[in-house]
Structure 1
Amino acid sequence: MHENSITILQEEARRLLDVEIDLLERMQAEPGVVVEEQDGGHQTFSRDTIGKDIEMLRGERAKLESLEMVLAVVGTMKAGKSTTINAIVGTEVLPNRNRPMTALPTLIRHTPEQLEPLLRLDNNAPINDLLGQLYEVCRSPAGQQALDSLEHTDDMLELLGMIQRQERFGNRYEGPEAIFDFLKNLNDLVRLSAALDVEFPFSSYGNVHELPVIEVRFAHLSEMTEAGGRLTLLDTPGPNESGQPHLRKMLQDQLKKASAVLAVLDFTQLKSEADEQVRQELEIISETCRGRMYAVVNKFDQKDRHGDSAEQIQAFVADTLMGRRLKREHVFPVSSRWGYLANRARHELANGRGLSADHAWVADFGELVLGMGWEESIDNAEEVLRRADMLWKKSLFSAPLDNVIRMAHGQAATLAIASAASKLVDIASRLNRFLEVRDTALAKSSLELEEQINSLLNDVEQVKSLESESQEKAKKVLEEIHTEMGEIFDAIRKGIEGEIEAEFKAGKASEKKQAKARADAQKSLSPMGVRSLFRAFWGFPERDREGFGYEFDESHPLIALSSKEEAETLVKAIENGVQKIIADGEKIMAHDIEILLGKFRESFSQNIKGEANELIKALNERFNRSGFAVDIRLPDTAPLSFKYSASELLGEVIDSRRRPVTRYRRSSGAWGTICSWFNTSDWGWESYETTEGYFEVDINKIKKRINGSVDMLFEELLETTSVTIKAPLETGVHQFFEQLKYTLENIRSDLAQSLLDKQNSRDEQQALAQRLAGLKRNVPAIQRDSEELKNDVQPSIEEAVA
């Protein structure tokens, strides 16, 4: 949506919110209009509920004023995601390490008054409880054994010391060093939990308000006004980083809610063997973030004169890598490192601080922009600023930053307007119904009102009957879906077993070939002694103690290969085959489930909803007025996805081993030397024992890993089905009928209040009728404008969340 259109709709939403709040407050103040609920009734507006409605509208008003723009940043491995975030912020808030650093999503919020970064984690109890559990496990024999096999880096030793001292995480860390240490320990805590088989409390960090948040002023935004809203970055684990089903579902949910999504790609890897992996990862992201996704191609400063131009890179990423899921103008070749260094230098100078040569980043910046002898010029603030501006321009970072933030603002505004419009329409329709029923009822006799109330009670019974019928249909559909999934997963398991068996045979063939080659080599190297001559003379076959026939076993689950490359090729072939089987199964399952859900939606829409609408039509006719209708739709179910990367399926299944072998060499001393002169094949030789390296692939371990992953996959799919199909289906049916019954109950309670109004004097009834007529005078216009606002913003919101 155009920025000017957003502003116009935003102003209209503000106006309507103010009008509805004013009307509700007037109703609240007028005598006899909004009263206490009687005998357990549920009036459309009562003394208890109207205040909550006013607060809700005020909340929508506040959201329009302070828009929260969430820019989710995702990145493939080593693409420079942390450097990109640091470039946006203008200071180093995230550490750069060679291994994945984002165990939990982390928020980085632009806070103008916060010059030094401050990390808050109010929800620190779950990880502190985990530290206590790990303390007990580390003291057990099994824990000690697990620790012995763990890689003891300095960082891991630091965390183990923290656990041993029974220290706990705080809820506040100020300054880069303290933040780095916390994030580093948090990531190592995830690794340690996995190694000790203790579950990390991912489920306790499923909502945004439960995540760590870093507050700091973004240098690039320091000169901008706050009228546009507040920008928050969401640092996410990459598609190949988390390996946690809990995180995957949580991330998909957060990416759906984000105002915009920024994918960070590595320029140096775009056309390498990693191309396919990058494409698969981005496909997963783009499915969730269609229409709101941008990409920065980092490390563009490493392009040489033979490399692709910026335009060629944009075309390649948008058209080839992303299959036209991304517009070319949404792809930005940049240098995040240059952008970070330039932005940080400008930030320091703008705050009146000089650049100290003692800092590592200053040395990087100085060497880059000032060259050799940079120390002599680093104190020249004017020249340093000029060079920083030049570096910022060359980094090409300004374009994505401006465009993406503008997009984030527009998206945040659209979501806020849509939310407000939905609430406005709901309140306006309830106002219209409430005031109309109360006003009309005053002109009716008590007998007529009692008849209407009794008719409504009969309507409620009909609704309950329809609800039971609909619940039975929904239950049947869910049973069919569960059966369908079980059958497809059985087929997947059989396919995987066949794939592993085929690759096992291929691996054994390679092992056999190598074993035979070693046996032949052994024959050619070993001397032929008297016993060998004797066996050859009588025609007995030569036996190889360490060669083919002894060490090769066709049925043994271990495959021993000479090189790591051959072992990795074998494992990769299994991974690829398994991935294809799962992908094919997913397509079949998604197709079949969609057909089942489509049939249910069609049945619900035509039969159940049709009968409900007939009931409402009869009710409207009884009240002899128009404009009352229930239009509640079942929520759409999200498409199922259970994509796993190969590393998640198998992990480390190749072991490096050494095996003993017997080799031969000339005897030391004079005898060996003399024999060598005559080139003897039997005399003057000695044997010796040594070892040679090989790489072992354990098929049983592979089967166990894959079966475990498939079991987890099936459990996760059942859980996903519960979240994406069962819950929305049951909730949708329940909400439909609850709202229908609640609407009927509202009208019944409003009529019951009108019966009480009839007990007042004629003058009091006339005065109340005048107040009701005055209040409802502007309601039709409010309702019409609210519905127009909702219709205007709806296409944009559907495009945004599609």
Structure 2
Amino acid sequence: MIVPAPQPNVQNLQQEAIALFKEISFLMDNAASALSTDSSSDKYKDFQQEVLSVSHNVEKLELMMAIVAPMKAGKSTIINAIAGQEILPSRNAAMTTLPTQIIFNSDLTQPTLTLSPEIISVYQQTLQALQTKIQTLGMQRIQDKIAQYPHLQDLLPKIQDPTSLQLQEITSGREEIIQVLMSLNDIVRLCNTIDPSTDPLGKLTEVPCIQVPMGRSRRLSPADTANNKPDLLGNLVIVDTPGPNEAGENLKLATVVAEQLKQSSMVLIVLDFTQLKTEAAEQVKRDVQRVIDLRGKDNLYILVNKVDQRREGDMTSEQLRQFIAAEFGIGNDDTNQVFEVSARRAFSAAHFTHELEQHPELTLSEIPAARVLAQEVFGIDWEEELAEVTSEEIRKKAQKLWNKSGFEPFLEKAVKALMERAAPKCLKSALNLGRSRLVQLRDEVKLRSSAICQDAEKLQLELYALEADLHRLELCRSRLKDVDSIKSQLHQNLHELLQVLKKEATVNLEIFFAKEEYQRADLIKKMDMRARELFLTNIGDFELFPKWVSSRLKSQVEFKTSGLFEFESPEVAEEFVDQAVTYVKQRADSLLSSVRDRTSQEIEQARQSLLDLLEQETKPIIEGACQRLNEAFNLDLSLPTMQWESFETMGFVRPPVKRQSRFVDRGNVEVLRNQRQWWHWLWIVPVEVKVQIRRPRVIEDYYTVSLNTLIAKVNQSIEGSIDNINLEIEKFLDKDFQQRVDVFFANLDTFLHNYRDNLSQAQIDQKLSLEEKEKLVEELSFLLPEATAQIQTAESYIEYTDQMLSN
């Protein structure tokens, strides 16, 4: 076999690797057939299945691309355009609250939505929480709280009927999927609006998954077909994520969202071309920065939508790149990280093509997508033109519109960037497995071929030596006391880390206010000014009232003493408590997320120390066995990273709303009375005069909330959660950590046992007839050069993937 030189192109390397895996599979099948009379046959059949599995992974390489929009910039339209049909719900109000994966599958004829049991369970829990909240607050108060989301009003009656909002694990059909996704997103938004402390997003680790057929955007152009260019878009996975601002006042980039962004090989931030220099620009800039803080700028791209609305005097493409580089620090002349598209044009073209192919029997007037396309390509005369145009003519118009949308170069560049990012890791993993199985096949064939010709006494001596190696390995495992030392040091490091966290996470009253806001509030409070007037007054460039309180509440609250707030109604007081609890919960969850990352780093360092120790202690035993057998074995030590059993979020006890009463002095009132005055006829004739009389005092109810009560409960919850983390770590170290060490030794046992079994089989081979021996040696001789050549090919490909990963 001639070793092909890898081409400096990741797509070519992918195709070469797939071809190599086919050859390895064929070789393993030959090995299983040649050795069908002994136990090795089943082993090589298993090797063949492993190779076929990794080959499938390489061929169906998942290229994960997350799309996030800090404002309503046409994100759903972009995804629908890539899919070639309306698969995601879209409306004027903010839509996305829950990340959703869209996987393109060429084997499907209609889209399918899959919801995990976890998603369905959290959904049911959220419905129950909403039902309880509605019963507690009453329908009128709930409607007032969601006044800014009119589309949620129709959802309230359905929540009262549990059977009307049931979910299934599998949903098929475009319309049905849209309805399910709308219900999911609306329930999450409703919950975070009227009961933010429930936080359904914080309980999720999995996301809905839609598999869709290949759309118009995923087909090859004629030029690509002529060049035999492979269709790699069949592996594209798009993650629709809620933007920082799109989510709403009480939603945040929850753990499940953050994980999807981190796992994606590329993140696209969608911006609206028409809004880049408006009053919303500063807010957009802050929202983009939040994604950068979470994800970094590596493989972060800007997708500018609605460029079809560019007019004379607007920014040119070059000016746009310079503007984005200056405003967001993304992209420059050397790196093409800015794409310009018109999602509306792309979707109109792709949707029409999809509908025409799905329903060729329909006339143009019967295809709704044709009307939308006609409006785009024919302008004000679209109705007349649509009535006269032929199917072929409008198909050409759709192709031109698609070309003008900017989607073709965007998809090509995006997939190229994704391939360069994701493919090398997948390829290296698959190639390592293939090489490992080839090495094992080669070494075992060499051993058996050589052993057949050896005398029986020498074979028996080697078997005794391998038995001694296995015994030494067991002794090594029993005396590895340093494992406990590594664990002890890790315990100490993590204990110190958690103690620092407790200190950092402690809440006080100042946490609820910016420092200067709190000091200014305290100063003016001492001056005996009315808090209500204070909170409505902007002083300098900041508003004195804390940012976590909605503007609707600011006119209905008085800050009486440090940490004590006063309200005129229990409804407003309860809403204030909701916002206070949500604020501290999000702060605490953020701190817990941070400490989990820092804890994982400590454990990773300890894990590496353990691997170094195991290698140091066991490698001499393995190398000794290989040396005796004239073998070369590369030991590949590996332990899994720590997996947290759960990502718990903290629950807090709500501070009570206290009802109190007080006498209210209503002041004086002016009345007219008849009195005798000296200045009017010397007291003889009464005269009507104005006099001041004091009004009777009345009893007034008012309601107070103490943040100090909340603070005490928060600190208790934080301490308890940190203690739970500590217990979780100890459980991992005591069980899983040691268990993985045992698995490592078991793998070494297997390695030595394989050598021993091959020598034992060689003893059996020696008892064969001369003709049977010659046939066996011939078959083994055929396998050896093929395995050696394929190992060289795999190693050359691995070397190239290393070069790509280092760039």
Figure out how many residues of one structure are paired with residues of the other and give that number: 726
The answer on 1:617 being equivalent to 2:623 is yes
Partner of residue 344, structure 1? 351
Change (3 A) 1:296 1:559: farther
- 1:627 equivalent in alignment to 2:632: yes
C-alpha separation between the residues in 2 aligned to 1:513 and 1:303? 56
User: In the alignment, which residue of structure 1 is the partner of 2:804?
Assistant: 796
> Hey, what's the Cα distance between the residues in 2 that align with 1:442 and 1:685?
120
Superposition deviation, residue 453 in structure 1: 2.5
| Corresponding residue for residue 446 of structure 1 | 456
1:771 to 774, 779, 786: 779
Structure 2 counterpart SS, 1:627? coil
Q: In structure 2, do the counterparts of structure 1 residues 74 and 721 end up closer, same or farther at CA, with 3 Å as the change threshold? A: farther
CA distance in 2, matches of 1:666, 1:482: 70
Pairing 1:76-475 to 2, within 5 Å after superposition: 76-97=70-91, 98-109=93-104, 111=106, 114=109, 118-121=111-114, 144-145=135-136, 148=139, 150-151=142-143, 153-157=152-156, 159-160=158-159, 163-164=162-163, 169=168, 171-176=170-175, 178-190=176-188, 195=195, 206=206, 211-224=208-221, 227-228=231-232, 230-238=234-242, 240=244, 241=247, 258=264, 260-267=266-273, 268=275, 271-286=281-296, 290-291=298-299, 293-300=300-307, 308-318=315-325, 321-322=328-329, 328-345=335-352, 375-381=383-389, 392=402, 395-408=405-418, 414=424, 417-467=427-477, 469=480, 471-475=483-487
Q: 1:208-234: per-residue Cα shift (whole Å, max 9, x none)?
A: 8xx432424412224556743514443
The 10-residue stretch of structure 1 (157-166 or 19-28) with the greater mean CA deviation from structure 2: 157-166
Look up the SS of the partner of 1:787 in the other structure: helix
Distance 1:334 1:95, change over 3 A: same
For residues 665 and 369 of structure 1, the distance between their equivalents in structure 2, rounded to whole angstroms, comes to 75
Cα deviation, 1:13-63, whole Å, max 9, x if unaligned, reads 244323322222222222xx35544xxxxxxxx233322211222233444
Query: CA, structure 1 residues 260+272, in 2 after alignment: closer, same or farther (shift >3 Å)?
Result: closer
Query: CA–CA distance in 2 between the matches of 1:507 and 1:650?
Result: 29
Q: Counterpart amino acid of 2:104?
A: R
CA deviation after TM superposition for structure 1 residue 731, in Å? 7.3
Instruction: State the one-letter code of the partner of 2:617.
Output: E
Give the deviation of 1:137 after TM superposition.
Answer: 7.7
Task: Give the aligned partner of residue 12 of structure 1.
Answer: 16
Distance 2:213 2:111 in 1: 7
- Following the alignment from structure 1 to structure 2, what is the Cα–Cα distance between the partners of residues 202 and 577? 10
**Shift in CA distance, 415/143, structure 1 to aligned 2, threshold 3 Å:** same
Question: How far apart are 1:296 and its partner, in Å?
Answer: 0.8
Q: Secondary structure at the match of 1:628?
A: coil
Question: What is the match of residue 786 of structure 1?
Answer: 794
Distance 2:180 2:313 in 1: 43
- Counterpart for residue 546 of structure 2: none
Work out the CA distance in 1 between the residues paired with 2:562 and 2:24. 79
User: Equivalences for 1:648-687 in 2 at 5 Å?
Assistant: 683=692
For residues 237-271 of structure 1, what are the alpha-carbon distances to aligned partners after superposition, in whole Å with 9 as ceiling and x for unaligned?
Answer: 33644999999665566556656443324553674
| AA in 2 matched with 1:215 | V
Equivalent-residue separation in structure 2 for 1:246 and 1:501 (angstroms): 19
In the TM superposition, residue 591 of structure 1 has moved relative to its aligned partner by: 7.1
Does the CA-based 8 Å contact 1:499-1:578 persist in structure 2? no
**Contact 1:418/1:793 (8 A) holds in 2:** yes
One-letter code of the match for 1:106?
Answer: Q
The answer for the alignment partner of 1:528 in structure 2 is none
When residues 196 and 635 of structure 1 are mapped into structure 2, their CA distance, relative to the original with a 3 A threshold, is: closer
Cα 1:150–1:783 shift into 2, 3 Å? same
Q: Deviations over 1:116-161 (max 9, x none)?
A: x53333x56666667777888888x788327756558344236426
Structure-2 residue corresponding to 1:524: none
- What is the alpha-carbon distance in structure 2 between the residues aligned to residue 728 and residue 215 of structure 1? 39
Residue 498 of structure 2 aligns to a residue in which SS?
helix
- Give the aligned partner of residue 530 of structure 1: none
Relative to 1, partners in 2 of residues 1:387 and 1:779: Cα closer, same or farther, differing over 3 Å? Answer: closer
Contact preservation (8 Å) 2:498, 2:722: no
* Aligned-CA RMSD value: 5.7
Q: 1:65 to 1:138 in 2, by over 3 A?
A: closer
Change over 3 Å in CA distance of 1:431–1:479 after alignment to 2: same
SS state of the match for residue 778, structure 1? helix
* Mean CA deviation greater in 217-226 or 397-406: 217-226
CA contact (8 A) 1:101 1:183 kept: no
SS where residue 303 of structure 2 aligns? strand
Aligned to 1:547: none
Instruction: Tell me by how many angstroms 1:795 deviates.
Output: 3.2
1:489 maps to a residue whose letter is L
Higher mean C-alpha deviation, range 392-401 or range 450-459: 392-401
Question: Given the two structures, how large is their TM-score scaled by the length of structure 1?
Answer: 0.72
CA distance in 1, matches of 2:500, 2:235: 44
SS in structure 2 of the partner of residue 629 of structure 1: coil
Q: 1:50 aligns with which of 9, 28, 44?
A: 44
Compared CA separation, residues 166 and 473, structure 1 to 2 (3 A): same
Q: State the AA in 2 paired with 1:169.
A: Q
Query: Are 1:512 and 2:530 an aligned pair?
Result: no
Q: Which residue of 2 aligns with 1:535?
A: none
Q: Which AA in structure 2 matches 1:157?
A: L
Q: Determine the C-alpha separation between the residues in 1 that align with 2:162 and 2:411.
A: 41
In structure 1, stretches of 5+ residues that fail to align are 38-45, 522-550, 672-679
Contact 1:264–1:295, Cα closer than 8 Å, also in 2:
yes
Deviations 1:469-519 (A, max 9, x none): 264244234423431332121221247666458859537526726852589
* 80-89 or 320-329, larger mean C-alpha shift: 320-329
Aligned to 2:149: none
Partners in 2 of 1:318 and 1:763 — Cα distance?
76
2:495 corresponds in structure 1 to 483
Contact 1:102 1:235 in 2 (8 A): no
Corresponding letter in the other structure for 1:118: P
Q: Determine the C-alpha separation between the residues in 1 that align with 2:330 and 2:321.
A: 12
C-alpha contact 1:481 1:596 (8 A) present in aligned 2: no
Once the two structures are superposed, residues 427-450 of structure 1 have per-residue CA deviations (whole angstroms, 9 ceiling, x without a partner) of 111012211221222233333333
Cα 1:765/1:736, change in 2 over 3 Å? same
744, 747, 763: which is aligned to 1:755?
763
Is the 1:559–1:698 Cα contact (8 Å) retained in structure 2? no
Give the structure-2-normalised TM-score. 0.71
Q: Distance in 2 between matches of 1:36 and 1:577?
A: 63
Cα separation, 2, equivalents of 1:759 and 1:133: 69
Q: CA deviation at 1:85?
A: 0.8
